[in-house]
């Protein structure tokens, strides 16, 4: 769709990642040489430079590393979503990824999110994109 700044442009390598996300699965890459996982997907390990890397389904669990409440974004479709929470999460498998936090109550006074560092999160998918929400507490 023309004019959208949030849509990926999959190529031959990243198509696997985006197809899995469209099906509700979060993929990461794991190195066969050093054993470490990484995200964003690359054709080589950013830790040891090995090309012995494979796709792996992530657990979908993460902790909140840092976040910011975005109050203004004039690009489509972000303008319709403000305020929203942009974040970096640490996946249970180790890598960190940029994402959006959904389902976090934004307080009216100052729009401060009901979040704290280290909060437990789980992946959900919105229009084929992995986003995270706080794990419900009973």
Annotate the chain with three-state secondary structure.
Answer: CCCCCCCCCCCCCCHHHHHHHHCCCCEEEEECCCCCEECCCCCCCCCCCCCCEEEEECCCEEEEEEEEEECCCCCCCHHHCCCEEEEEEEECCCCEEEEEECCCCECCCCCCECCCCCCEEEEEEECCEEEEEECCCC
pLDDT bin (cut points 50, 70, 90) of residue 65 is: very high
In tens, the pLDDT along 92-138 reads: 999 999 999 998 666 554 555 678 889 999 999 998 999 999 998 76
Q: What is the pLDDT of residue 112?
A: 59
């Amino acid at each position: 769709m023309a004019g959208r700044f949030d849509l990926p442009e999959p190529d031959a390598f990243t198509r696997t990642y985006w197809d899995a996300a469209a099906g509700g699965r979060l993929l990461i890459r794991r190195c066969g040489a050093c054993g470490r996982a990484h995200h964003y997907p690359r054709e080589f390990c950013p830790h040891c430079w090995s090309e012995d890397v494979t796709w792996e389904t992530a657990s979908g669990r993460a902790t909140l590393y840092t976040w910011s409440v975005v109050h203004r974004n004039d690009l489509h479709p972000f303008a319709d979503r403000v305020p929203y929470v942009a974040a970096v999460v640490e996946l249970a498998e180790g890598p960190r990824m940029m994402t959006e936090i959904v389902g976090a109550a934004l307080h009216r006074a100052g729009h401060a999110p009901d979040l704290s560092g280290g909060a437990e999160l789980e992946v959900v998918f919105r229009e084929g994109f992995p986003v995270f929400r706080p794990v419900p507490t009973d």
